[in-house]
Structure 1
């Protein structure tokens, strides 16, 4: 059973400034890191893997993660049916990550939700209302639609929405929303063209 989010966790999930060093958040992350490590050290046909994913994510439908996997919070990520992830999936889910059905991700895929301040003096630390210093973060959700394929070494940045049926080319850094039914690639990632019936391999 997943407990109700603490005040600091609610801040992270609602796009407010939060303290990633908060003791309750650190405990959630340690749990997720430990479960990720446990999963990653099991052989790929070990039935305990599904049990770990259920515990790590709060729910797990169908699919396969090759491993190793790295989830920051775990319970901030929702994954649909028939998910496939190749080697080295990293999801830094301080904010919410929502992944649809039939999504495929290539090796070394990274999905990131938190941002640090651009101004160094703020990045190095600010004071809370009680005068305690902390290094602030702000997280923005990532939403990935159904039937999406992310190529090898794709990075999805905070606040991005990727529409249904999108293909993202290998090595892309996705900094802005990508509309449905598109092929997109590059750093920064840009839409190249729409996917059409002419792209079918099989008629």
Structure 2
């Protein structure tokens, strides 16, 4: 078994062999190039993202964006990553379509043994975020976590266990506080209700700005 195979299998590993340091170095160069782009250099950004992820990217990522390899991140379509997201992708990170990340979200797929005699060693455990999730600002998602589709994670949460679909979860450690329900179709924030007039006005203004 190679070191890369050990990483994929969730076994103990070290990352200073088999070309891994060189791969991280190239990733850091592309990361710096992306993070130093000007706001209007969109073509350059998307070209760099394609090099980072190894595939076409149909998502919006606000610099700065931090990662280890980039190639271990599978990012769905119509995702949004606000500034300062940090993905530790020694193991695989799989993100579904239409997932939104607030600023400063960390996804960590790597852990270390507790005992100091072995702490230089690492192990990986993939993270999965299913479609239509909203991950609040400064959330930390720990190795091995799956967040089910449509779920919302409150800002500042530490997610160390998987969260089921259609849930609102928050806290340290992050816990489900309720399911998403029909009331959420009526109110968007506290006592602020959706109305047909307000929705129509928002869409009208948005369409006018695009014309």
The alignment of Structure 1 onto Structure 2 pairs a total of residues equal to 187
Asked if residue 150 in structure 1 is aligned to residue 119 in structure 2, the reply is: no
- Superposition pairs of residues 162-181 of structure 1, within 5 angstroms: 162-181=147-166
Whole-Å Cα distance in 1 between the matches of residues 5 and 45 of structure 2?
A: 29
Judge conservation of contact 1:8–1:25 (CA < 8 Å) in 2.
Answer: no
Asked if residue 85 in structure 1 is aligned to residue 81 in structure 2, the reply is: yes
Aligned to 1:127: none
Deviation at 1:13, TM superposition (A): 1.8
- Superposition pairs of residues 94-113 of structure 1, within 5 angstroms: 94-113=90-109
TM-score, normalising length from structure 2? 0.85
SS at match of 2:48: helix
Q: 2:172 aligns with which of 180, 184, 187?
A: 187
Q: 1:196 aligns with which of 181, 200, 204?
A: 181
- Superposition pairs of residues 66-81 of structure 1, within 5 angstroms: 66-81=62-77
Aligned to 2:34: 39
Whole-Å Cα distance in 2 between the matches of residues 86 and 98 of structure 1?
A: 17
TM-score, normalising length from structure 1? 0.89
Aligned to 2:209: none
Whole-Å Cα distance in 2 between the matches of residues 168 and 45 of structure 1?
A: 31
| Gap runs ≥5 in structure 2 | 188-193, 196-211
Deviation at 1:81, TM superposition (A): 0.3
Asked if residue 50 in structure 1 is aligned to residue 46 in structure 2, the reply is: yes
Deviation at 1:23, TM superposition (A): 5.2
| Gap runs ≥5 in structure 1 | 1-5, 124-134
> Normalized per residue, which structure has more helix?
2
Aligned to 1:115: 111
Aligned to 1:132: none
Deviation at 1:10, TM superposition (A): 2.2
Q: Deviations over 1:112-140 (max 9, x none)?
A: 001111011111xxxxxxxxxxx311000
Judge conservation of contact 2:49–2:57 (CA < 8 Å) in 1.
Answer: no
SS at match of 1:17: coil
Q: Deviations over 1:28-78 (max 9, x none)?
A: 111111111110000233111101111101113312111101110111110
